[in-house]
C-alpha cells in the first residue's frame, strides 16, 4: 500500500516560526485555520500571507478554496503571516478564538462543506480578481505559445547534425537583450516582459502571487496599521506612498498600429483641407499578434468614429464619453471590433499667407525633439482614456494591468509632409494622473508636479538623466520634469496588401454637418443603385443567374461601409437582429448564406421597399445599371472615383465657401503622394494619391453643391461639362454601351475585369473597382 508523504509548510509570524504537515491537495483554508490556532488574539479577517518579509501581502480569505499545489506551495515553503490583533472585549471568552479560527474546509468534491461554512458563520470567500479576469484572445494566444525566438543553423559555427542544436542556433527567450539590441527593438513586448517577470517569481501554471501590481501613488485610506487617523489627519510609513523615481518604461503594452487602408487617414485629412480646423476620432479595430516583435501585439484599425466636436484652427472641443458612445461600442462589438485608441490632427500650413512658393502644399513641423511630441494637456487626456480602458490580466492582483489604448497624432514632418505618430502613456504616468499629482504647464514639453494640499499627498519625485559628461544624475522633479519620461513610442504602418473589413467608405461621415450630411435618402439611393426596381430574394426561392449573382456581390460591397451601418442603426427601420445580420454581411463579405439571412429579415424587406422608391426609372435593367453606375461614380458611392483633380494642394486647407463663382479657374494638378503622407513613393498604388477618390471632393473651387440628386441626369451633365469643375475621365463618364449578352446586366462575366484586391468582377470599361475603389490592373 502506497502512502502519500506530507509536506512541511513553514509559517513565520510575530508569534514565532511554525511548521505544519500538509498534503499538496489540501485546501488553503486548512493552512489558514492552523495559522490562526497559533495566534489566538488575531483578527481572522486581517490575516495575510506573503512570500517575503515585507510587501506582496495577500488576504488569506482570497486563498480559501484553492489547493496548496495550485498555489505553488511545496515542501519547505516559507510564508510570512501578518494580522491585526483583535480589540479587547470583556465578553470575549475562550470560545471566541475558536470561533474565529473556524474556516470553511473543502469537501471531497472541492466545494466548502455546509457544516464548516455554518461554523464559520459566513459565505465562502469570493474568488480573487485575477482568477476571474477575462483576458483578450491575443494575450491567451501568447500565453499558450512557446514564444521563443527560433534561429537557423549557423553554417560557420554549428558543427553538429541537422537534428541537434548548440549555443549558436538554440532558440532564444523572447526577452533576450542581445536580440533586441541587434534588431533595434527599444521596448519589450508586454507578454515577453510578463514571461520574464513570471519566470523570475513563479511558474506560469503555479502562480501563488501574481507577479504584476498596478502602481498606486495615493495614500492608503484607512491606514493598515490602524494607529492614527486617515490622511490628512495623520500619516505613517505604512499608508504613505514611497518616493517615485521616473524612468523609461522597459515594456510597452502595444507594439504596432496598423491602419487597414490609407483612406482612413485621408478622410481625416480631407476635413482639415476643406475647413482648416482640426479633427478627432476614435479608432475601431482589434488586437492581433505582431510577428515583427517577439510576442508582439498590434492594433488593426478598421474604422474611425468621429464624435460630436467643435474644431478650431489650433485645437478642438469635445466631450468624452459622448451621448452615442454606448450604442457605437455595442454596434462595433457585433462587427468584432473595439475602441482601441484615438487619433486627431494637429496641422498648420507652412505658409498661411500663400506668398512663399517653396512652401506651397507643405505643413509646419511643430512636434520634434527640440519642441515636444505630446503636450502636457495631451498626456493627461491620454492617461485618463487609458485608465478607462485598462487591459484585463490574470497576472495582476487587481485583475487588470496598464492599457493597450493608443494615441495617434497627424502632424507635419521636418520636410513639410504629413505623417502619423503613435504613443502610449507609461504605467507611472497613469498612476500619477490617477493620484492627481501632475498638471499641464504653459510650456508644452514639461509637466508640473502639484503640491500636497488637502486630501492630496504628493511624495518625493525624482528623474534620472545623463549630463554633458555622461554622468548619471538624479534630480528632483519638483516643480517640473520633461514630458518624455511619461511617453512610450509605438510604431505604425499600412499593410502591403490591404484587406479591410469594410470594403466601402463612400457614405457620408457622421457629425460633419454642412460638409457630410447623412439622411435616409442617401442610404436608400445607394441601395437602389444596386437592386434597381427589382427586389433581391434569398437563393432558396430559385437559382440565381449571373446577373443576380453580380447584383448580390455589389450589394455586399455597398453595405460593407461602417458609416452606413452606424447610420442605419439610428433609423429605427432595422431591429437588433436585423443589425446583427447586416453586420455579418458587412464584415464577412459573404454574398451567400449571410446575405440570404439578411434578405429574409422583415426589417430589410421594409428598407429595400423604401429603397426601390428611390430607384431610377428606365426602359431596361441594363440602362438602369449604366445610369446608376454613372451617378455612383459622380457621388463616390462605390468607394472610389474617376480621375478628378483638386483645386488646391492636398496639404493646404481651404475655408468652406457657401457658393463658388460661376466661372472658376481650372484646377491645378494634384501634388505627388509623397508630399501628403511623407513616407512612400508617389507611384506606390497603396499610397493614397487622390486620383481615385470621388467621394471626397472638398477642395474644388466649384464644389458648391454637395447635395447632388442621384437620379438627376441634367445635374450630372452640368457637373461633367463645367469648366474648372470635377474633370471626369471620358472612359468613366462617357463609356460606350456594354456589349449584348444573354443576361440583363449588360456585360458578360467573362468580359469583365477582376479586381486584384477584392476579386470583384467589374465592367470592362471600369478604371477602378466598384467595391473597394482600388485601381484595376491591366
What does the pLDDT read at residue 648?
Answer: 35
Domain 252-437+487-493 has CATH 3.40.50.2000: no
What does the pLDDT read at residue 657?
Answer: 37
What does the pLDDT read at residue 618?
Answer: 46
> How far, in Å, CA of 205 to CA of 226, rounded?
36
**Contact predicate 79/11, CB 8 Å:** yes
What does the pLDDT read at residue 202?
Answer: 57
What does the pLDDT read at residue 767?
Answer: 76
Please determine, for residue 189, whether its predicted confidence score (pLDDT) is greater than 50: yes
What does the pLDDT read at residue 42?
Answer: 86
What does the pLDDT read at residue 4?
Answer: 52
Strands, E assignment, 235-318:
244-246, 251-252, 256-259, 280-290, 296-305, 309-311, 316-318
Q: Which of 229-243, 620-634, 751-765 has the lowest mean pLDDT?
A: 620-634
Q: What number of other Cβ atoms are within 10 A of residue 443's Cβ?
A: 14
Higher pLDDT, 392 or 626: 392
Please determine, for residue 512, whether its predicted confidence score (pLDDT) is greater than 80: yes
Q: Which CATH architecture has domain 7-126?
A: Roll (3.10)
Rg (Cα) of the chain, in Å, rounded? 32
Please tell me whether residue 229 adopts helix, strand or coil conformation. Answer: coil
Tens-place pLDDT, residues 567-621: 999 999 999 999 999 999 999 999 989 999 999 999 999 999 998 886 655 443 3
Residue among 267, 358, 353 at smallest CA distance from 693: 267
Higher pLDDT, 7 or 758: 7
Q: For residue 493, what is the enclosing H or E element? A: strand 487-493
**Contact predicate 133/394, CB 8 Å:** yes
Q: What is the mean pLDDT of residues 647-660?
A: 39
- For residue 208, name the pLDDT band (cuts at 50, 70, 90): low
Tens-place pLDDT, residues 487-509: 999 999 999 999 999 999 999 99
- For residue 64, name the pLDDT band (cuts at 50, 70, 90): confident
Tens-place pLDDT, residues 716-727: 333 333 333 333
What are the boundaries of each domain within the chain? 7-126, 252-437+487-493, 520-733
Please determine, for residue 100, whether its predicted confidence score (pLDDT) is greater than 70: no
Q: Which of 419-428, 430-439, 739-748 has the lowest mean pLDDT?
A: 739-748
Please determine, for residue 191, whether its predicted confidence score (pLDDT) is greater than 70: yes
Please determine, for residue 217, whether its predicted confidence score (pLDDT) is greater than 70: yes
Sign of CA dihedral 40, 41, 47, 49: negative
> How far, in Å, CA of 364 to CA of 367, rounded?
9
What does the pLDDT read at residue 138?
Answer: 95
Higher pLDDT, 197 or 772: 197
> How far, in Å, CA of 523 to CA of 568, rounded?
8
- For residue 680, name the pLDDT band (cuts at 50, 70, 90): very low
Higher pLDDT, 745 or 20: 20
Please determine, for residue 142, whether its predicted confidence score (pLDDT) is greater than 70: yes
What does the pLDDT read at residue 636?
Answer: 37
Contacts 24+ apart (CB under 8 A), 604-607: 604/574, 604/578, 605/535, 606/573, 607/524, 607/527, 607/568, 607/573, 607/574
What does the pLDDT read at residue 647?
Answer: 33
Tens-place pLDDT, residues 733-761: 333 444 443 333 333 344 577 777 666 77
- For residue 425, name the pLDDT band (cuts at 50, 70, 90): very high
Higher pLDDT, 625 or 319: 319
For the chain, give the mean pLDDT.
Answer: 77
Residues of the chain with pLDDT > 70: what percent?
74
Tens-place pLDDT, residues 155-167: 888 888 888 889 8
For residues 368, 374, 375, 381, the Cα torsion angle rounded to the nearest 10 degrees is 170
CB proximity list for 466: less than 8 A, separation 6 or greater:
472, 473
The DSSP bridge partners found for residue 282 are 305, 342
What does the pLDDT read at residue 548?
Answer: 83
- Is 0.85 surpassed by the pTM of this model? no
Same fold, 7-126 and 252-437+487-493: no
- For residue 200, name the pLDDT band (cuts at 50, 70, 90): low
Higher pLDDT, 559 or 15: 559
Please tell me whether residue 288 adopts helix, strand or coil conformation. Answer: strand
User: Phi, psi at residue 287, to the nearest 5°?
Assistant: -100, 135
Please determine, for residue 352, whether its predicted confidence score (pLDDT) is greater than 80: yes
Amino acid at each position: 500500500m502506497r502512502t502519500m508523504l506530507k509536506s512541511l509548510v513553514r509559517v513565520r509570524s510575530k508569534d514565532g516560526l511554525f511548521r505544519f504537515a500538509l498534503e499538496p491537495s489540501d485546501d488553503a483554508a486548512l493552512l489558514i485555520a492552523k495559522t490562526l490556532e497559533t495566534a489566538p488574539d488575531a483578527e481572522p479577517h486581517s490575516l495575510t500571507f506573503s512570500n517575503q518579509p515585507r510587501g506582496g501581502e495577500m488576504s488569506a480569505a482570497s486563498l480559501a478554496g484553492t489547493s496548496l499545489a495550485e498555489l505553488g506551495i511545496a515542501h519547505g515553503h516559507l510564508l510570512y503571516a501578518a494580522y491585526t490583533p483583535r480589540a479587547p472585549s470583556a465578553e470575549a471568552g475562550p470560545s471566541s478564538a475558536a470561533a474565529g479560527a473556524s474556516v470553511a474546509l473543502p469537501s471531497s468534491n472541492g466545494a466548502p462543506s455546509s457544516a464548516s461554512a455554518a461554523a464559520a458563520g459566513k459565505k465562502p470567500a469570493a474568488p480573487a480578481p485575477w482568477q476571474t479576469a477575462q483576458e483578450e484572445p491575443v494575450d491567451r494566444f501568447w500565453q499558450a505559445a512557446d514564444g521563443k525566438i527560433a534561429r537557423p543553423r549557423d553554417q560557420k559555427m554549428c558543427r553538429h547534425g541537422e537534428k541537434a542544436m548548440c549555443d549558436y542556433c538554440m532558440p532564444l527567450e523572447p526577452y533576450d537583450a542581445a536580440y533586441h539590441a541587434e534588431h533595434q527593438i527599444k521596448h519589450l513586448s508586454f507578454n515577453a516582459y510578463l514571461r520574464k517577470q513570471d519566470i523570475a517569481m513563479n511558474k506560469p501554471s503555479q502562480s501563488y502571487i501574481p507577479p504584476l501590481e498596478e502602481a498606486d501613488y495615493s495614500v492608503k485610506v484607512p491606514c493598515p496599521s490602524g494607529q492614527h487617523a486617515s490622511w490628512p489627519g495623520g500619516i505613517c510609513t505604512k499608508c504613505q506612498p514611497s518616493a517615485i523615481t521616473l524612468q523609461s518604461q522597459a515594456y510597452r503594452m502595444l507594439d504596432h498600429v496598423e491602419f487597414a487602408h490609407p483612406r482612413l487617414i485621408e478622410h481625416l485629412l480631407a476635413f482639415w483641407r476643406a475647413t482648416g480646423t482640426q479633427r478627432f476620432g476614435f479608432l475601431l479595430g482589434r488586437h492581433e499578434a505582431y510577428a515583427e516583435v517577439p510576442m508582439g501585439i498590434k492594433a488593426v484599425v478598421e474604422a474611425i468614429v468621429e464624435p460630436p466636436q467643435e474644431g478650431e484652427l489650433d485645437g478642438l472641443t469635445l466631450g468624452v464619453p459622448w451621448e452615442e458612445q454606448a450604442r457605437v461600442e455595442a454596434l462595433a462589438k457585433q462587427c468584432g471590433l473595439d475602441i482601441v485608441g484615438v487619433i486627431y490632427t494637429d496641422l498648420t500650413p507652412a505658409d498661411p499667407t500663400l506668398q512663399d512658393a517653396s512652401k506651397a502644399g507643405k505643413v509646419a513641423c511643430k512636434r520634434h525633439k527640440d519642441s515636444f511630441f505630446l503636450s502636457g494637456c495631451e498626456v493627461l487626456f491620454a492617461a485618463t482614456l487609458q485608465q478607462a480602458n485598462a487591459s484585463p490580466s490574470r497576472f495582476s492582483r487587481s485583475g487588470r494591468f496598464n492599457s493597450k489604448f493608443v494615441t495617434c497624432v497627424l502632424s507635419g514632418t521636418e520636410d513639410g509632409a504629413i505623417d502619423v505618430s503613435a504613443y502610449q502613456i507609461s504605467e507611472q504616468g497613469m498612476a500619477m494622473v490617477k493620484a492627481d499629482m501632475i498638471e499641464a504647464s504653459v510650456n508644452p514639453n514639461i509637466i508640473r508636479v502639484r503640491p500636497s494640499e488637502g486630501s492630496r499627498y504628493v511624495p518625493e519625485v525624482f528623474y534620472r538623466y545623463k549630463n554633458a559628461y555622461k554622468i548619471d544624475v538624479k534630480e528632483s522633479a519638483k516643480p517640473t520634469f520633461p514630458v518624455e519620461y511619461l511617453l512610450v513610442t509605438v510604431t505604425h504602418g499600412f499593410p502591403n496588401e490591404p484587406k479591410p473589413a469594410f470594403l466601402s467608405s463612400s457614405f457620408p461621415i457622421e457629425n460633419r454637418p454642412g460638409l457630410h450630411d447623412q439622411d435616409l435618402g442617401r442610404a436608400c439611393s445607394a441601395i437602389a443603385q444596386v437592386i434597381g426596381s427589382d427586389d433581391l430574394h434569398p437563393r432558396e426561392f430559385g437559382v440565381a443567374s449571373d446577373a443576380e449573382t453580380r447584383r448580390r456581390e455589389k450589394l455586399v460591397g455597398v453595405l460593407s461601409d461602417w458609416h452606413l451601418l452606424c447610420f442605419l442603426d439610428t433609423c429605427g427601420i432595422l431591429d437588433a437582429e436585423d443589425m446583427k445580420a447586416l453586420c455579418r454581411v458587412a464584415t464577412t463579405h459573404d454574398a451567400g448564406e449571410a446575405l440570404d439571412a439578411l434578405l429574409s429579415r422583415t426589417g430589410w424587406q421594409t428598407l429595400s421597399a423604401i429603397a426601390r422608391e428611390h430607384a431610377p426609372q428606365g426602359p431596361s435593367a441594363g440602362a438602369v445599371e449604366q445610369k446608376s453606375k454613372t451617378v455612383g461614380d459622380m457621388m463616390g458611392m462605390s468607394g472610389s472615383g474617376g480621375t478628378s483633380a483638386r483645386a488646391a494642394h492636398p496639404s493646404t486647407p481651404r475655408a468652406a465657401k457657401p457658393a463658388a463663382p460661376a466661372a472658376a479657374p481650372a484646377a491645378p494638378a494634384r501634388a505627388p503622394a509623397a508630399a501628403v503622407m511623407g513616407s512612400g513613393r508617389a507611384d506606390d498604388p497603396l499610397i493614397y494619391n487622390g486620383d481615385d477618390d470621388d467621394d471626397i471632393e472638398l477642395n474644388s473651387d466649384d464644389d458648391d453643391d454637395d447635395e447632388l440628386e442621384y437620379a438627376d441626369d441634367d445635374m450630372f451633365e452640368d457637373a461633367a461639362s463645367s469648366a474648372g469643375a470635377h474633370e471626369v475621365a471620358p472612359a468613366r463618364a462617357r463609356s460606350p454601351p456594354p456589349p449584348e449578352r444573354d443576361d440583363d446586366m449588360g456585360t458578360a462575366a467573362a468580359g469583365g475585369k477582376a479586381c486584384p484586391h477584392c476579386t470583384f468582377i467589374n465592367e470592362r470599361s471600369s478604371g477602378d473597382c466598384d467595391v473597394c475603389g482600388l485601381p484595376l490592373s491591366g
